[in-house]
Structure formats: structure tokens, C-alpha cells
Amino acid sequence: QKFVYDFTEGNRNLKDLLGGKGANLAEMTNLGLPVPPGFTITTEACKVYLDSGEEPPALRDEVSAHLDALEATMDKKLGQPNDPLLVSVRSGAKFSMPGMMDTVLNIGLSDDSVAGLAAQAGDERFAWDSYRRLIQMFGKTVLGVDGDLFEEALERAKHAKGVSVDVDLDAADLKALVGEFKALVSKETGRDFPQDPREQMDLAVCAVFDSWNTDRAKLYRRQERIPGDLGTAVNVCSMVFGNLGPDSGTGVAFTRDPASGHQGVYGDYLQNAQGEDVVAGIRNTVPLADLEGIDKPSYDELMRIMETLETHYKDLCDIEFTIERGKLWMLQTRVGKRTAGAAFRIATQLVDQGLIDEAEALQRVNGAQLAQLMFPRFDESAAAEKIGRGIAASPGAAVGKAVFDSYTAVKWSRSGEKVILIRRETNPDDLNGMIAAEGILTSRGGKTSHAAVVARGMGKTCVCGAEELEVDTKRRCLTAPDGTVVQEGDVVSIDGSSGKVYLGEVPVVPSPVVEYFEGRMHAGADDADELVKAVHRIMAYADRVRRLRVRANADNAEDAARARRFGAQGIGLCRTEHMFLGERREMVERLILADTDADRQTALHGLLPLQKADFTELFEAMDGLPVTVRLLDPPLHEFLPDITELSVRVALAEARQDANENDLRLLQAVHKLHEQNPMLGLRGVRLGLVIPGLFAMQVRAIAEAAAERKNAKGDPRAEIMIPLVGTVQELEIVREEAERVIAEVEQARGVNLKLTLGTMIELPRAALTAGQIAESADFFSFGTNDLTQTVWGFSRDDVEASFFTAYLEKGIFGVSPFETIDRDGVGALVRSAVEAGRATRPDLKLGVCGEHGGDPESVHFFHEVGLDYVSCSPFRIPVARLEAGRAAA
């Protein structure tokens, strides 16, 4: 096994082995770009080290061989006193983990070689400053000395000299500081700072390995869903210096604008500085374009290199570079991060440039980015006073009055105020306040904090972990770093897509992408937004290649019409219970309270025309496309008054001796229907089987609506769906009755309705006996909400707000299984039910209508297992179309 690769030996496809940085350094080296020579120690070596606590035995010799070669190339030896070779030792994992792991620069400097460096550089101060930095970095990251101790010593040195910045310390000051730092290391660690350059290097390599497992690195990986066993590679690279005078410097650049995607010169440059100085923001950088005036040859070369990189990677790249005395060096490149809008624009620009094809363009964007582009946003042209920034936890733009507790949030929102709930952090007690608020702002906690998880679940705007904002819930105010105080009732605006927090109301504008999907903006128009044009093209690619059809979950004509505008190819789930709410609730109540057949029939008769009208509208809106109507699903108590409220009302009335007969009957019924576990109780097909006439009424309404549309020359394509089936026998009974009703209507109206009858697969037993159930079903629609609930034994209404935060933090899962399908558990059941169902009935139509139908990752899974369609809420349809295209491309 080979543990060390020279930069000339690797390439960009070896990220698993060489990490992202190492693989790209190798790629650039082989492109002939000026990369300082060096080598990469593999992630495999790291894994052996982490497993066994020791470096692999062969590693030392391999490193020696590569170091010899490097020394030969550079014509100097590591730490050689008169002209030392210095190296950097940098971490570099497969996935970038910014700032999470260690780096040590200037390895090779010692009491002996510092003078050699000074002589070679012709700069005494520079050499002592480099040595000072080495001891500081090495002491902190390799030897574990508290970094503050070095900083304090540095501060003391400046104070003693009466200066405020490092650059005002001269060589003698820095030399003295080196002495102090060395003493500090000895005192804190009981050992001297190692003078042997090779020992420095080996210790630094092990420190980088160890940094893979620091607490913060582990936490970061869990949050970003990076596997914990990948390990990091280590890059040993000869040092080049950007701090050797005004003809040196360091910078970062993008091959095109990561915000707009436009080609041009984007980046920052800092003269006479090293990389850390840019990150630390010690001095102000200048725009990259200014480099042309500072050092034209280097600038021209950089522009050429950037073009080479873009053409080679066929994508936006970001770059770190250093200029050492007029010589340009490339220190890093990678395919750069970009905003959601830029991702779409860049993908189409690259197609136009002939660099990538349409299938590749689809891989360059994703549904999460599209979803982000569909949120309303703050009008960036409006003047707004930004008071702070936190983590963009749940996208959207929310404006409201600041409130600092849940009770006030609920109270104010009831009286019609829009509120932003501001807390240090939230917990389950804040739930009502979160529901009432337009958005949530917290000063603590990350992307998996309670506030973030719950807000995302609700689709509510959230900024969390805005540490710089001081929240005082007792005094009901928030203090910004600039001293601005926001009191309860002051208006604030929060941007869940950028994490920015503003004082006052920032105007909100609708997303141009939604305007486009709504048909209010045309991609073909000359002045059409560039982003809209790009989205239009990408959606066309996706629609061309996708195999999955996309339907909508919708139960009224308005939603159906919007869904159709957004590209829905039918309705996959019409939840008829939504048609029983509002003023119709009393009619349902009458049905539930009916003692006699006659009473029940009267109640059902009352509901029939209303249901029929609902369906007629829906079939009209979806004319020519399938509409799956699901018969009543939820437990009946949902249509009755709350048991506690009603009990109190009756008790009070009884005390006054004027209890009314109806209330008493109602209370009796509520008691009778009360269930400890309504989700596992009398609902779905079970209702249809025990309430005579209920399903028959619904089927009749569907059939009559369809018949009417047919007679009006429409093209209704109704599909009747039975929920919560666990066994084929249930379905057989319902089917018999439904077929009888349909035949009656067909005969009476003289039409052939071609209605199909299918079932939801949302219980484990249904999935396990799918082969039998398919005997009686024309189609299956997977109800992955209930299936997830019953497979995991997680109450879908409770767990996300209760213990999911803890589960996410512990890394038990990276994302809620209610959000993204659990492939191994729930997914395995879906897969086997698909196979069993099709084995019984090869033409069985298969879809999914749980929330997962609109989740990007889940859409790929449904594509893989061979479903015919996914169904999701209207706003998710473009996302599902895009992801279905990406899955097929």
C-alpha cells in the first residue's frame, strides 16, 4: 500500500485518497500550473493512525523518500542552516471542513536556520517573524499550549514598545518574543520546542491526523452529514512567502462571480501578506482588479491560469494564490461554492459555452437551490438597517414586531399583529409561540438547534445562533453590537436565507421564479430576468429526461389550478376530510350523532351535493389528467368539539341547571369516540367499514361529478383511493360496495366512467402483504407519512418538536425521517411492496403521496425503485420535476 503521493502523481479523481486539496494540487501540477512542489500523505495513512494510535510502519520511510525528492527538486534541505527549505503541513479531507482542522506553516525553522532564512531573504525581521509564527502555531496545534498565552505575550511586547500593530515590532523585538515563546512552550509542556526539522514535520503530521477527531470537527461532520470514518489527508508543501515586501502578496479569486455567475475578475488581494492575514482581516484587501496596476505580469498570468482552470474543470473554481517577489504560485483550487441563483445561471452559461451538455447542467443545480429561489425575498434595493447576522436556518423573509416570549407571541398574533419570536434558544414550551410567529430569531444554537429543526419542519423563516445579538428575555429587549436596542413591539425583519437581521420593516418582493411558474413572467420576453431564463431552460431539460411523473396534493380548485401552472400532471392526493371543515363540520357532527338509519341517511344526503360540487370543480381544473380522490381518513373525533372544553361547558350548564340536550348527546359521543391513540384507532378504511353509507356517499359523489363532467364534454379521470388498508379483505369489502355504486351511477347516467380503485400503502402490514393487496387494487400510493410513523413507532405529530433535536445532535440521523425517506427501513418496505405488487399485477400503477414526494433526496429513491409518479404540495412541484430529471439524467 502506498501512503504518500507526490503532487505529480495524483489527480482530481483521487479525492477519497488525497482529500480535496491534495487531489486538486496534483491536478494543477499536472496541468503545468505553478504549484510549489510537495506531496500528500493519504487518508488511508490517517485511518491506520486513528485506528491503531500509531503511524503505519511504512509511512516514515515513504515520507523520507518523498522528502529527499522534494529537497532535490528545491535544491535545499529541510531546515538546512544556511538556506533552509521550509514546508507547510496542511489538512485536507475529502469534503471541505473550513477551519475545522489544523495547519502548521514554516516547518523547518530553528535556532540554527533562522539566520539562514534571514540571509537568503535579506530580511532579518521577516525571518524572526516567521520563526515566531511557527512556534506559536506549533505550540498551539501540535503541543496543545493554550493559544491565548502566546497572544498575551505578543500583546505585552507591543504594549512595552508602545505600538499597536505587529508590523511595528522590529527584528530585535521579534527575536526576544521567540525567546519568550520558547520558554512558554517549555513551561507549559515540560519539553523544549523541537529543533530537529524532521521531528517538527512528523509531529505536525500526527497533529493533523488527530485534528480529524476534535469535538468541533465531529460536530461539524454530523451536522453536514459527512461520514466520520473518512479521515484526512495531509499536504506537505514547500513554503512560498507573500510577506517578503511590496512585490509579494496573497489573494483569493473566483473564475466567475459566485453571486451572479458573470465572468469577470472577482477576488481580493493583499500586498505583503500571508494567507492567514487575509482571513484574520488584519489589513484591508484591495479588489483583485487592482493587481493589474501592482504587478501586471503576475496579473496576466493569473488571468490565463483562471481560464485554464475553468475550461479544465468546466465549472466555477475558486483559487488561493501567493506572489513571492513577483513570482505567482497557486496554493489551492476547487470547484467553488455559489449562490442558488448563480448555480442556475452558471449551468446554462456553461452549456452555451459548449463546456457541458444538458445532462451535466442538471447535475450542477438541485431542488434545494430551486426551493430557495422560490421564497419571497427582501427588496435589496430598499434601505435597511442591518443590526446583526446569525445562521440561515430556515429560508424566507419575515417581518414583524419583536416579542420575547411565547405567550406574548400568541396573544399579539391573535389580535392580528405579525410577530417575530426572539429567544436565546427555544424549547418545546415555545411551540405555540413559534406557530404564531412569522419568524423565529435566536442568539444560540446551530442548524440542528430546536429552533432550526422545528422552524424548518413548519416551513417558517428562522435565523438562529445570532451570537452577536444579546437577547434579554427578562427586560424584553435585544442589543446589537452597535448598541442598537430592540424593545418588545419594535419591528424587525429577518432573512432566513442569508441570516441577516434588520431593524424596521424591509419590503418583501415576490420571487421572480414563482412569478415565472405562475405564468406572470415569461422567460421568452426580451427583458426577462436572467435567472428566470436559466430556470426555464433547466426545467425544460429536466422535463425532457425525467421518467417520474409529478402530481400534486391538492383538494380545491385553486390549488389544483396553481399546481397545473407549476407543471403538475394530475392530482395524486385529494384529502376529502379537508372538504368537511368549516361550516360543513356540523353536518358531519350530525352524521356522527345519528341514532337511526334514517337520521344517518339524512345527514349523508346533506353532504352528497356538497362533495359532488367539490369534485366537479377539481375534475374541471384537472381536465384530462388523473385525480386521485382519497375517501375519508381521519378519526371522527377530529370533527367534534374538544373533550375538555365541552366537559367544562356541560358541567357549568348542569350547575346552572340548564344543560341542553344536544350538548349532552354530543358529550356522550365525544366520550364514546375518544381514543388514547387516535392515529392507530378508528380511521381510514376502518371508518368506511363501520359507518354505514359513508364511503358509498363519497363514491357516489365522485361518480356523479365525473358523469356530469363527461356529459359536459369534459375529460374527468378520477381514481378512488382507500386509506389505511392493512389487509386485502378490507379492500375487497369496500371495493364491492364501490363498484355497485359506480355501476348504478353509470347506468342512471348512461356513461362509462372508467373509474379505477386503489389503495394507500401506509401500514407495514400492507407493505408486507402487497402481493395480496394488489389482487384488489388498480393502483398503490405509498403514504410515507404514516408508513414512517408506523415503521419507526414515531408519532408524526409529536416527535419533531420533542426529542428529534437530541437525535440529530447525537447523529442518530442526519435528517428527520419524516422529511427524507429512510432508505434502509421504510424504503426497504416500499421497495419490496413495489416488487410484490407488480408481481401480482404487472400493470399496477405506483405512486407516493407522503411529504417525501417533494423531497429532493427521496425523489431519487422513488425513481430508483421504479414508481410511476410522485405527488407533493403545489409549491414543491417544480422541485420534484427538477429532481426527477436529475435522477434520470
> Nearest CA to 856 among 832, 880, 821?
880
Binding-residue total with Mg ion (CB under 5 A): 3
The interface with ligand PEP within residues 691-730 (CB under 6 A) comprises none
Active-site choice (450, 536, 637, 852): 450
d(CA 765, CA 818): 19
The yes-or-no answer on residue 464 being catalytic is: no
Closest CB to ligand PEP among residues 102, 800: 800
Q: Are 109 and 181 in contact (CB under 8 A)?
A: no
Pick one of ligand PEP, Mg ion, none as the site partner of residue 791 (Cβ within 5 to 8 A by kind).
Answer: none
The helix/strand count (H/E) of the chain reads as 35, 31
CA dihedral of 732, 733, 739, 744, whole degrees rounded to 10: 170
The interface with ligand PEP within residues 629-658 (CB under 6 A) comprises 633
Instruction: Select the span of 82-90, 93-101, 111-119, 781-789 touching ligand PEP (CB under 6 A).
Output: 781-789
Which one among 785, 820, 832, 840 touches ligand PEP, defined by CB under 6 A? 785
Closest CB to Mg ion among residues 704, 762: 762
Closest CB to Mg ion among residues 62, 762: 762
Q: Does 687 bind ligand PEP (CB under 6 A)?
A: no
> In whole angstroms, what separates CA 857 from the centre of its chain?
11
DSSP 81-130: SSS-B-EEEEEEESS--TTTS-EEEEET--TTHHHHHHHHHT-HHHHHHH
Q: Is 51 annotated for ligand binding?
A: no
> Nearest CA to 2 among 70, 52, 66?
66
Which one among 786, 800, 855, 883 touches ligand PEP, defined by CB under 6 A? 786
Closest CB to ligand PEP among residues 16, 857: 857
Instruction: Select the span of 155-163, 271-279, 280-288, 783-791 touching ligand PEP (CB under 6 A).
Output: 783-791
359: cell is 445532462
Instruction: Select the span of 291-299, 414-422, 608-616, 778-786 touching ligand PEP (CB under 6 A).
Output: 778-786
Q: Does 860 bind ligand PEP (CB under 6 A)?
A: no
Q: Are 639 and 623 in contact (CB under 8 A)?
A: no
Residue for cell digits 396573544? 411
Pick one of Mg ion, ligand PEP, none as the site partner of residue 856 (Cβ within 5 to 8 A by kind).
Answer: none
Task: Determine whether 771 is exposed, middle or buried from the number of CB atoms within 10 Å of its CB (0-12, 13-18, 19+).
Answer: middle
Residues with Cβ within 8 Å of residue 160, at least 6 apart in sequence: none
CB atoms within 10 A of CB 371: 19
Shortest separation between residue 573's beta carbon and ligand PEP, angstroms: 6
Which one among 323, 548, 849, 867 touches ligand PEP, defined by CB under 6 A? 849
Instruction: Select the span of 71-79, 363-371, 713-721, 780-788 touching Mg ion (CB under 5 A).
Output: 780-788
410: cell is 400568541
Closest CB to ligand PEP among residues 706, 826: 826
Q: Does 762 bind ligand PEP (CB under 6 A)?
A: yes
> In whole angstroms, what separates CA 628 from the centre of its chain?
31
d(CA 550, CA 553): 10
Shortest separation between residue 587's beta carbon and Mg ion, angstroms: 24
Backbone angles phi, psi at 649, to 5 degrees: -60, -45
Shortest separation between residue 578's beta carbon and ligand PEP, angstroms: 10
Binding-residue total with ligand PEP (CB under 6 A): 10
Instruction: Select the span of 275-283, 307-315, 536-544, 779-787 touching ligand PEP (CB under 6 A).
Output: 779-787
CB atoms within 10 A of CB 846: 22
d(CA 409, CA 402): 9
The yes-or-no answer on residue 46 being catalytic is: no
Closest CB to ligand PEP among residues 89, 761: 761
Q: Is 783 annotated for ligand binding?
A: yes
Active-site choice (237, 574, 849, 872): 849
Closest CB to ligand PEP among residues 389, 575: 575
Instruction: Select the span of 257-265, 343-351, 688-696, 782-790 touching ligand PEP (CB under 6 A).
Output: 782-790
Q: Is 709 annotated for ligand binding?
A: no
d(CA 402, CA 437): 10
Shortest separation between residue 755's beta carbon and ligand PEP, angstroms: 21
Q: Does 37 bind ligand PEP (CB under 6 A)?
A: no
Closest CB to Mg ion among residues 496, 783: 783
d(CA 106, CA 92): 18
- Give the residue closest to Mg ion by C-beta: 786
d(CA 670, CA 86): 81
Shortest separation between residue 207's beta carbon and ligand PEP, angstroms: 50
Closest CB to Mg ion among residues 175, 575: 575
Which one among 277, 320, 495, 762 touches Mg ion, defined by CB under 5 A? 762
CB atoms within 10 A of CB 129: 24
Q: Is 106 annotated for ligand binding?
A: no
- Give the per-residue contact string, 569-608, with ligand PEP (x = CB under 6 A; - = no): ----x-x---------------------------------
Q: Does 783 bind ligand PEP (CB under 6 A)?
A: yes
Q: Are 564 and 624 in contact (CB under 8 A)?
A: no
Pick one of Mg ion, ligand PEP, none as the site partner of residue 849 (Cβ within 5 to 8 A by kind).
Answer: ligand PEP
Q: What are the C-alpha distances in Å from 563 to residues 35, 306, 868? A: 53, 43, 18
DSSP 776-802: G-SEEEE-HHHHHHHHHT--TTTGGGT
Instruction: Select the span of 121-129, 735-743, 745-753, 777-785 touching ligand PEP (CB under 6 A).
Output: 777-785
Q: Are 438 and 400 in contact (CB under 8 A)?
A: yes
Shortest separation between residue 783's beta carbon and Mg ion, angstroms: 4
Shortest separation between residue 883's beta carbon and ligand PEP, angstroms: 18
Pick one of ligand PEP, Mg ion, none as the site partner of residue 94 (Cβ within 5 to 8 A by kind).
Answer: none
Closest CB to Mg ion among residues 395, 783: 783
Pick one of Mg ion, ligand PEP, none as the site partner of residue 575 (Cβ within 5 to 8 A by kind).
Answer: ligand PEP
The interface with Mg ion within residues 783-842 (CB under 5 A) comprises 783, 786
Shortest separation between residue 693's beta carbon and ligand PEP, angstroms: 22
Q: Is 575 annotated for ligand binding?
A: yes
Q: Does 850 bind ligand PEP (CB under 6 A)?
A: yes
DSSP 453-520: HHHHHHT-EEEE--TTSEEETTTTEEE-TTS-EEETT-EEEEETTT-EEEESPPPEE--HHHHHHTTS
Angle at alpha carbon of residue 586, lines to 584 and 587, rounded to 5°: 70
> For the chain, first and last CA: distance in Å?
37
Label the pairing between strands 485-487 and 397-403: unpaired
Q: What are the C-alpha distances in Å from 93 to residues 24, 170, 220, 229, 330? A: 12, 38, 13, 11, 19
Closest CB to Mg ion among residues 235, 788: 788
Applying CB under 6 A, which residues contact ligand PEP? 573, 575, 633, 762, 783-786, 849-850
Applying CB under 5 A, which residues contact Mg ion? 762, 783, 786
Residues making up the annotated binding site for Mg(2+) are 762, 786
Residues making up the annotated binding site for substrate are 575, 630, 762, 783-786
Active site residue ranges: 450, 849
Residues making up the annotated binding site are 575, 630, 762, 783-786
